[in-house]
């Protein structure tokens, strides 16, 4: 009797899970396969924005932890680290500038930024893991950050495809397939330290988050804008 | 102790005095000390409200000459790809003093700025401050804070509210430019501690667990997500919910409680008073009286002696007096069980025949009595001398064919007493069966029950005598008169038996027991007749059937109390001085014929005589 009961319960659970899966977390069907639930663009944007928010939070935490260790002066940040390796990427510096940008360009900027940080973040994680100054939490955060950048890049690619699919943006978005490896180096050619990297990445993650939000509210303004 | 206290007090006083003097000294001599440190002009803060513009404020410091407007200038520099250089503040706010406003065109997010405070006339930089705009964003407080009542608890004590607000209008949340996080604070009015509730996003928040009798104050503030700069608080909103008049429900409850308690008390008092006795017993149990285990105290009060005796004897703690007086009883051994069983006569005989103490001179009879000494109520003068006898009457033993010898129970036999017949009769034990009444008036008592076989009746007397040593004191009656409790096993000293012995030789081969009670009123009758009667020519056979008819009147002469012991048989049986008659000899028992003895005073057997008698 107990067997039958457990089996029935399992069956019901599977049904429920299946139903929930159908409603909530169905996989994205790239080619519009019949039978799989297609996520809406708004949902995609929401996921991506959540990802970017999480990434930015991580970068902020790591940066504040670094500040505790190194205790830079009040004006230290702006004087010493004026140039990040992503500084040569033209990014809108304000809301109006961002809004003035076309969707494709905005998307392209986002992608460029995310591409630029793939390698440096892994380097950062490795260097942090080797150093004794950081506890395991910091190195884990760095690792998570690098993974998240990777995930976010993929997500933004999907969003871009979706948008192109829906005809919201043109297909002229370039720079996605062939990323240019930007070496994180300052103008003088020196490699940036961990703290500099973190400072730069924190800024760039904030940029990405904001750009994504702007993009989302421009394209699918009905939810949460 | 006192010294220590005084010392500490002194120290404290000295310290206080020195401090006072020091402070006084410090204040009293202003010339020696700088009045106050010079405060240079500096930036107090730079803030952005919506991440689109920002402002910077500074203070002029303590220098008097710099407090004039225009004495200070703010220059800024932004680190972007186009290094322009230091620029002066684009807009000095007219309405607010010492404020520099950077409008949207000058505000670049994710760009590090540096502002400097310089004196206009001199080339002095008083202060410099570098930042990035997104790090100095302090959002405006949310607007439209209000609350609605969610519910009130059943008891009416607690309630829940839902607080709503709107994001600050300056923050561009619609375009997603700013994502805000809100923080709700609430407290009891005029309390010192604020409770915080953090909200990720959204524009409403529920507050649970507020109390109706208190007034609450609620306020809210916000910040940019992933940043740490909170904006200012909004205006407080006061929340108060009038307590639902629950007195109605509380009042009956209180009344009910009071009534219930009163009722319970009343009931308790009633119970106590009605069951006072029981309660007393329960609470203060009576001390139990001493109790003998197993014995009912009531029986002790009302019971009869028999019951008591049986009870107490069973308790092994109470010994009948007879036990005390007859210690030899302990050593009594039963020779043969049959003897006890078959000798009903012995019962009566024992009852009838009682021996005196010391007659045998041997306390250790070696034979247990079949009968309880308790049966002998009157123990004075009664001794079961038989019990002391270890030997059986030789005559009896040899006359085995008749066999009752083993049956002979040991009974205390009645010693020959010099007492008058009546007395001796009085001394007799409980009961004996009257078998016949002689014409002379003597009552012939038979020893046993009615169903006694005649074979058993006779010849108890034919038992052996006691031992010679103990015998002396024994008074043998010439005439068997009193109890004839003869136990062949024990032996006896009875003149009758003696007579029988001597007369018949061994007339007592068979050893039935007989208790013969004769109550010959006449004293000193001729024993012969009796003996003669008793001793049938055919000793053995006659013995067996020696029945009550055996003793005719003539046969029952009063037996005198004393009889001279003429001889002691080789089997240690006493041969009393009798008549000269000679009983038909029992072959197994050759009897010596006693030489005629000189007349001896009746009654007493002297040792010399005994010696003479001894073979």
Q: What is the pTM of this model?
A: 0.49
Distance from CA of B112 to the nearest CA of A (A): 6
Q: What is the pLDDT of residues A74-106, one digit of tens each?
A: 555 545 555 778 888 888 888 888 888 888 888
Q: What is the pLDDT of residues A128-165, one digit of tens each?
A: 878 766 667 778 888 888 899 999 999 999 888 888 88
For B129, nearest residue in chain A (alpha carbons): A75
Interface contact B112-A78, CB threshold 8 A: yes
- Whether residue B33 has pLDDT greater than 50: yes
Predicted confidence band at B394 (pLDDT cuts at 50, 70, 90)? very low
Interface contact A210-B79, CB threshold 8 A: no
Nearest CB to A94: which of B108, B114, B179?
Answer: B108
Q: What is the pLDDT of residues B111-149, one digit of tens each?
A: 888 888 888 888 888 888 888 888 899 999 999 999 999
pLDDT value for B327: 54
Which of A65-69, B336-340, B370-374, B482-486 shows the highest mean pLDDT? A65-69
Strands B112-119 vs B125-132: parallel, antiparallel or unpaired: antiparallel
Which residues from A are below 8 Å from B130, CB to CB?
74-75, 77-79
pLDDT value for A120: 87
> DSSP labels for B157-190?
SEEEEEEEEE--TTS-TTTTS--EEEEEEEEETT
As a whole number, mean pLDDT of residues B417-434 equals 54
Q: What is the pLDDT of residues B216-250, one digit of tens each?
A: 999 999 998 878 889 999 999 998 888 766 555 66
* Per-domain residue ranges of chain A: 1-38, 40-219
Distance from CA of B141 to the nearest CA of A (A): 19
Bigger pLDDT: A39 vs B455:
A39
| DSSP summary character for residue B136 | G
pLDDT value for B131: 87
Token duo for residue A19: 């139903």
Interface contact B131-A94, CB threshold 8 A: no
Distance from CA of B26 to the nearest CA of A (A): 36
Pick among A210, A217, A220 to test the B interface (most B CBs inside 10 A): A210
Range with the lowest mean pLDDT among A54-58, B142-146, B577-581?
A: B577-581
Regarding the domain delimited by A40-219, which CATH topology (the fold level of the hierarchy) does it fall under?
Answer: Growth Hormone; Chain: A; (1.20.1250)
B239-247 long-range Cβ contacts below 8 angstroms, 24+ apart: B239/B147, B239/B161, B239/B186, B239/B210, B239/B215, B240/B214, B240/B215, B240/B216, B241/B149, B241/B152, B241/B159, B241/B161, B241/B210, B241/B212, B242/B212, B243/B156, B243/B157, B243/B212, B243/B213, B244/B152, B244/B156, B244/B212, B246/B155, B246/B156
Interface of A with B (CB under 8 A): 49, 53, 56-57, 60, 74-75, 77-79, 82, 87-88, 91, 93-96, 98-99, 203-204, 206-207, 209-210, 212-214, 216-218, 221, 224-225
Predicted confidence band at B165 (pLDDT cuts at 50, 70, 90)? very high
Q: Residue B77: which residues within 8 A CB-CB, separation 6 or more?
A: B84, B85, B86, B87, B113, B114, B115, B116
Interface contact A225-B173, CB threshold 8 A: yes
pLDDT value for B317: 57
């Amino acid at each position: 009797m107990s067997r039958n009961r457990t089996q029935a319960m399992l069956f019901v659970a599977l049904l429920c899970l299946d139903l929930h899966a159908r409603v909530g977390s169905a996989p994205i069907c790239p080619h519009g396969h019949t039978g799989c639930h297609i996520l809406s663009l708004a949902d995609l944007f929401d996921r991506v924005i959540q990802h970017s928010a999480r990434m930015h939070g991580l970068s902020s935490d790591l940066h504040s932890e670094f500040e505790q260790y190194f205790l830079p002066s009040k004006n230290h940040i702006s004087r010493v680290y004026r140039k990040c390796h992503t500084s040569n990427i033209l990014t809108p510096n304000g809301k109006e500038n961002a809004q003035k940008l076309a969707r494709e360009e905005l998307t392209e900027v986002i992608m460029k930024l995310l591409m630029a940080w793939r390698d440096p973040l892994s380097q950062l994680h490795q260097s942090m893991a080797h150093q004794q100054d950081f506890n395991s939490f910091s190195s884990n955060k760095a690792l998570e950050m690098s993974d998240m950048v990777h995930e976010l890049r993929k997500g933004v690619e999907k969003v871009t495809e979706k948008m192109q699919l829906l005809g919201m943006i043109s297909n002229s978005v370039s720079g996605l397939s062939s990323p240019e490896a930007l070496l994180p180096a300052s103008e003088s050619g020196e490699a940036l330290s961990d703290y500099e990297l973190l400072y730069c990445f924190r800024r760039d993650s904030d940029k990405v988050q904001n750009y994504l939000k702007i993009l989302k509210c421009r394209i699918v303004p009905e939810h949460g804008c | 102790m006192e010294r220590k206290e005084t010392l500490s007090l002194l120290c404290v006083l000295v310290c206080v005095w020195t401090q006072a003097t020091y402070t006084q000294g410090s204040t009293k001599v202003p010339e020696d000390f700088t009045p106050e440190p010079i405060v240079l002009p500096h930036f107090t803060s730079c803030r952005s409200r919506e991440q689109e513009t920002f402002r910077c404020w500074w203070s002029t410091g303590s220098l008097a000459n710099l407090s004039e407007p225009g004495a200070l200038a703010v220059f800024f520099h932004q680190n972007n790809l186009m290094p322009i250089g230091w620029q002066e503040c684009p807009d000095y706010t007219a309405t607010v003093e010492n404020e520099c406003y950077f409008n949207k065109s000058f505000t670049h997010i994710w760009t590090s700025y540096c502002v400097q405070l310089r004196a206009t006339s001199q080339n002095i930089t008083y202060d410099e401050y570098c930042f990035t705009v997104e790090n100095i964003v302090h959002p405006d407080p949310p607007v439209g804070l209000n609350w609605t009542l969610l519910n009130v608890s059943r008891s009416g004590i607690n309630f829940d509210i839902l607080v709503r607000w709107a994001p600050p209008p300056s923050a561009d949340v619609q375009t997603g430019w700013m994502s805000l996080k809100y923080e709700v604070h609430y407290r009891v009015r005029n309390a010192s501690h604020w409770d915080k509730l953090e909200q990720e996003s959204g524009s409403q928040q529920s507050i649970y667990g507020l109390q109706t009798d208190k007034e609450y104050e609620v306020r809210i503030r916000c910040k940019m997500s992933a940043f740490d700069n909170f904006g200012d608080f909004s205006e407080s909103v006061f929340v108060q919910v009038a307590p639902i008049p629950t007195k109605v429900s509380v009042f009956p409850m209180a009344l009910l409680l009071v009534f219930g308690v009163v009722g319970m008390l009343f009931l308790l008092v009633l119970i106590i008073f009605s069951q006072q006795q029981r309660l007393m017993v329960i609470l203060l149990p009576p001390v139990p009286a001493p109790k003998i285990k197993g014995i009912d105290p009531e029986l002790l009060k009302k019971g009869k002696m028999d019951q008591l005796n049986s009870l107490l004897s069973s308790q092994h703690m109470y010994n009948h007096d007879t036990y005390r007086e007859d210690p030899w009883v302990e050593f009594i051994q039963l020779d043969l069980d049959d003897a006890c069983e078959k000798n009903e006569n012995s019962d009566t005989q024992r009852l009838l025949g009682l021996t005196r103490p010391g007659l045998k001179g041997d306390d250790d009879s070696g034979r247990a009595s079949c009968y309880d000494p308790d049966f002998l109520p009157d123990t004075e003068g009664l001794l079961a001398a038989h019990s002391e006898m270890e030997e059986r009457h030789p005559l009896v033993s040899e006359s085995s064919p008749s066999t009752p010898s083993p049956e002979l129970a040991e009974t205390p036999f009645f010693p020959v007493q010099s007492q008058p017949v009546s007395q001796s009769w009085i001394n007799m034990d409980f009961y004996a069966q009257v078998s016949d009444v002689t014409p002379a008036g003597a009552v012939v008592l038979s020893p046993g029950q009615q169903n006694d076989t005649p074979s058993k009746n006779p010849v108890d007397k034919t038992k052996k005598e006691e031992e010679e040593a103990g015998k002396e004191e024994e008074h043998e009656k010439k005439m068997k008169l009193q109890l004839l409790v003869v136990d062949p096993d024990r032996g006896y000293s009875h003149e009758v038996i003696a007579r029988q012995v001597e007369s018949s030789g061994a007339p007592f081969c068979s050893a039935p027991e007989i208790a013969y009670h004769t109550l010959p009123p006449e004293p000193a009758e001729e024993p012969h007749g009796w003996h003669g009667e008793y001793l049938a020519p055919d000793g053995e056979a006659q013995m067996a059937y020696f029945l009550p008819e055996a003793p005719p009147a003539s046969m029952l002469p009063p037996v005198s109390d004393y009889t001279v012991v003429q001889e002691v048989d080789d089997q240690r049986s006493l041969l009393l001085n009798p008549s000269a008659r000679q009983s038909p000899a029992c072959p197994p028992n050759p009897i010596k014929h006693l030489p005629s003895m000189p007349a001896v005073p009746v009654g007493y057997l002297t040792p010399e005589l005994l010696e003479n008698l001894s073979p």
